[in-house]
Amino acid sequence: MAAFWKAETRICPHFPVPHLPVLMIRVPRSKVKRAFEERISQNEGDPGLDFQTWESAALSCKLAFMSKFRIAGVIPARLGSTRLSRKVLRPIAGRPMVEWVWRAAQSSGLMDPVVVATDSEEVASVCRERGIPVAMTSPDCPSGSDRVRQVALSIDAEIYVNIQGDEPTLTPDFFPPLLSLFDRPEVEVSTLSVHCAQEEIANPNAVKVVTALDGRALYFSRSTIPFDRDQTGFTNYRKHLGIYAYRKSALERFAALQPSPLEKLEQLEQLRLLENGIGIYVAEAPRDTIGVDTEEDLARAEAVLKGTEK
CA distance 57 to 53: 6
pLDDT classification of 29: cutoffs 50, 70, 90: low
Q: Report the pLDDT value the prediction gives residue 60, as an integer from 0 to 100.
A: 55
Is pLDDT at 236 greater than 60 in this prediction? yes
Q: Which fold has domain 71-308?
A: Spore Coat Polysaccharide Biosynthesis Protein SpsA; Chain A (3.90.550)
Which sequence spans correspond to the domains of the chain? Answer: 71-308
pTM over 0.85: no
DSSP annotation string for 24-36? SEEEEHHHHHHHH
Lowest mean pLDDT among 93-97, 111-115, 257-261, 306-310: 306-310
Cβ neighbours of residue 116 closer than 8 Å, sequence gap 6 or more:
75, 77, 98, 102, 123, 124, 127, 132, 133, 134, 135, 165
Question: Chain-wide mean pLDDT for the chain?
Answer: 84
Smallest CA-to-CA distance from 252 within 175, 171, 157 is with: 157
For residue 308, pLDDT over 60 is answered with: yes
The C-alpha R_g of the chain, in whole angstroms, comes to 20
Q: What is the pLDDT of residues 208-228, one digit of tens each?
A: 999 999 999 999 999 999 999
pLDDT digits (tens, 9 = 90+) for 93-105: 999 999 999 999 9
Give Cα separations from 263 to 123, 269, 276 (angstroms): 28, 5, 11
CA 260 to chain centre: 23
Task: Name the pLDDT band for 80 (thresholds 50, 70, 90).
Answer: confident
Model confidence at 5: pLDDT above 60: no
What are the start-end ranges of the E strands in the chain?
4-7, 25-28, 71-76, 91-92, 95-96, 114-118, 134-136, 159-162, 189-195, 208-211, 217-221, 238-247, 280-284
**HSE-up of residue 278 (Cα within 13 Å, Cβ side):** 23
Q: What is the distance between the alpha carbons of residues 268 and 241, in angstroms, rounded to a whole number?
A: 12
Cα dihedral 120/125/128/134 (nearest 10): 10
